[in-house]
Amino acid sequence: MKTILIVARAGSYLAAAPILGLHQTSLSRRVRQLEQELNATLFVRHAHGVQLTPAGRALVAKAQEMEMAAESARRELSGYDKRLSGLLRLQVTEGVGTYWLVPAMADFAREHPDIHIELLPGIHPADLLAGEADICITIHRPRDPRIVGRRVASLSYGLFVSPQYLRTHDAATDLASLSQHRLLNLDLHQTDPGLSWWHDMLRAHGGPSFNSKTLGMYLAAIQAGYGVGLLPSFYAHVPLELIRLPITLNSITDLWLLTHEATNRSLKVKTMRRYLYARFDRDGGRWFS
């Protein structure tokens, strides 16, 4: 049901695929399988995407009823959560989560030992309407009016290499000189429209010399001397022995802290949200732009 709703709202498989964390062809295959199970055609293609059939509209109406009922139940239950205890799920991208958020929350954990924190890494923001997380820190600005969003920081970017790489290569001093270097890529960068210049550069190089779906392997490749990697500027303060190249990049990506309007009535969500706002403000000069 969730898949059909998102495709219907997005208007195309291309737009819906990144929201669901799927490839466009995988999403199209999933919809076809559902159509076969229901023995009904749900979407028809047109020049700019897909359009619901009568059967599709009927299914979406039922799915919306279920979504509204679940949201109403969550809203009622969240009003009863007046205790600073229990599970709190927070989704964040891996780099910000590992190197800033986890150390930043140590004080919170000491102050509120009865709140159990579960961190959920992810490239695409959690579906707060479906209750996948309580708080989400993401580069994606909220579009649904039921999602409460606040811009909490901005990320600037730099190009990084290892000392080992510089022993066999001259340091690049401008973007043009990168043509003489191996470029590494992280899948997360593909979700940020503000990094389109980086995507263009990779294509001009015939593709990246190394590509990773996980941050850990991407950082390991940079440290091992595979080539030049793009990272948020705060990695200059992370003890990974990486060297930032003297190239100024005019790339800024906003970070948003998102919550559901219903779960905002939960005392533990309110408390965590206020704490994170204060930490973002405090650490802005060193960690964020």
- pLDDT tens-digit series, residues 191-248: 888 899 999 999 999 999 999 999 999 999 999 999 999 999 999 989 999 999 999 9
pLDDT of residue 225: 96
Is the pLDDT score of 74 beyond 70?
Answer: no
Is the pLDDT score of 76 beyond 70?
Answer: no
Mean pLDDT, to the nearest integer, of 55-62?
Answer: 87
Model-level pTM greater than 0.85? no
pLDDT of residue 170: 92
Min mean pLDDT across 21-25, 113-117, 156-160 is at 21-25
Structure-model confidence comparison of residues 87 and 24, the more confident one: 87
**pLDDT category of residue 78 using cuts at 50, 70 and 90:** low
Which of 227, 276, 240 shows the shortest CA–CA distance to 256? 276
Is the pLDDT score of 107 beyond 80?
Answer: yes
Calculate the average pLDDT of the chain. Answer: 89
Structure-model confidence comparison of residues 198 and 289, the more confident one: 198
Q: Report the alpha-carbon distance of residue 7 to residue 245 in Å, rounded.
A: 42
Q: Report the alpha-carbon distance of residue 26 to residue 18 in Å, rounded.
A: 11
**pLDDT category of residue 82 using cuts at 50, 70 and 90:** low
Mean pLDDT, to the nearest integer, of 166-178?
Answer: 93
Return the percentage of the chain with pLDDT > 90, whole number: 57
User: Domains (ranges, CATH) in the chain?
Assistant: 2-78 (1.10.10.10), 83-289 (3.40.190.290)
**pLDDT category of residue 56 using cuts at 50, 70 and 90:** confident
Structure-model confidence comparison of residues 228 and 36, the more confident one: 228
